[in-house]
A and B are shown apart, each in its own frame.
Chain A
């Protein structure tokens, strides 16, 4: 009977070790790991708070006019009608009427057209590289008329407009009357007819 008690105590001890101590040790270890992660997150958050404060301070120091200019330079939406009106306004300053405006809808121009074409043909085509850009392009083509000096001023103004405009294509012809004496053209001698293709950008 006496020798049974130590064996019983040992069995209880071993049982307690495996049933209670070991799971407790594991959960304590897990908790310790979790707390380390919390501490790391807290120290990171302190760093992030400082960074955010610094960035907000820098952002507040930028003048509102400059922020507005930047937004006009690269607007959030394509706003194609406003863009066409802006081009027309600049052209009108130099007495150059805008005619035959042609443009594709910005959505079809940025990839859906290619997808539709590939669906029709059944071909798998690579995705448009422009689709990965943070900005979209919107192109218009139009004709205008005016003197060469007015055209140069119009081009300069258009290129240095606040909303960025990229002139992709220009073509014009001197009226026949100017070079050969044949006055079949409706335009007078110093009035040329120009075809332009321009594009602008917006933030996607």
Chain B
């Protein structure tokens, strides 16, 4: 006959089982926490070592940069900068520089023998090159002939040519005023300079 009589209310078996279940998580938590601490400590050590390595590298690079900086000679750099500044300023000036000599040459070529200029006044402004002259001609026909020369291909460099104040003077000559502007291409320094250089070369060829 089965003995189902219970002598005590304390469940002995269950007590043993419970004590095993409680110990396992405690151990695991300890292992995890110790592991976590070890990881943190290793990370601290690693970072500390890496930081020291980087500091040394930075110091090396810094000294390399100092030696490279010493390589650049300040005087040389200043000299090069000044030369560069002078070159670019010269180019800037030459690009807008003009000469008046070709103007006199073209005026000489376009003047007919019956006309003489008695005064010349030239002004350079931001708007261009303006010339005012006074002249004397033998007769009105000569003035008209001179005007036609200005309108021909010979006078292509002269724009807005205006004859004014025509009158006969005491010597029976015709006096007049003339105003015009000058084509800037005639006064180009670069063009004139090239022409000046080509003249000796041509002379040598002949």
Would you call A105 an interface residue if the criterion is a C-beta within 8 Å of the partner chain's C-beta atoms? Answer: no
Would you call B167 an interface residue if the criterion is a C-beta within 8 Å of the partner chain's C-beta atoms? Answer: no
Kindly list chain A residues whose C-beta atoms are within 8 Å of the C-beta of B204: none
Scoring B residues 78 to 112 as 1 if CB is less than 8 Å from chain A, else 0, what string do you get? 01100101111110111001111100110000000
Separation in Å of the B151 CB from the closest CB of chain A? 25
Alpha-carbon distance A172/B105, docked complex (angstroms)? 16
Residues of B within 8 A of A (CB): 26, 29-30, 32-34, 36-37, 39-41, 43-44, 47-48, 50-51, 54-55, 57-58, 61-62, 64-65, 68-69, 71-72, 76-77, 79-80, 83, 85-90, 92-94, 97-101, 104-105, 116-124, 136, 169-171, 173, 189, 192-193, 196
B contact patch SS: helix
Q: Are A31 and B55 in contact, with the CB atoms below 8 A?
A: yes
Separation in Å of the A178 CB from the closest CB of chain B? 8
Say whether, besides A42-B68, A49-B71, A174 and B61 are in contact (CB < 8 Å).
Answer: no
Closest A residue by C-beta to B117: A174
Scoring A residues 23 to 37 as 1 if CB is less than 8 Å from chain B, else 0, what string do you get? 011011001101100
A contact patch SS: helix
A70 touches which of B43, B86, B193 (Cβ 8 Å): B86
Would you call A126 an interface residue if the criterion is a C-beta within 8 Å of the partner chain's C-beta atoms? Answer: no
Would you call A55 an interface residue if the criterion is a C-beta within 8 Å of the partner chain's C-beta atoms? Answer: yes
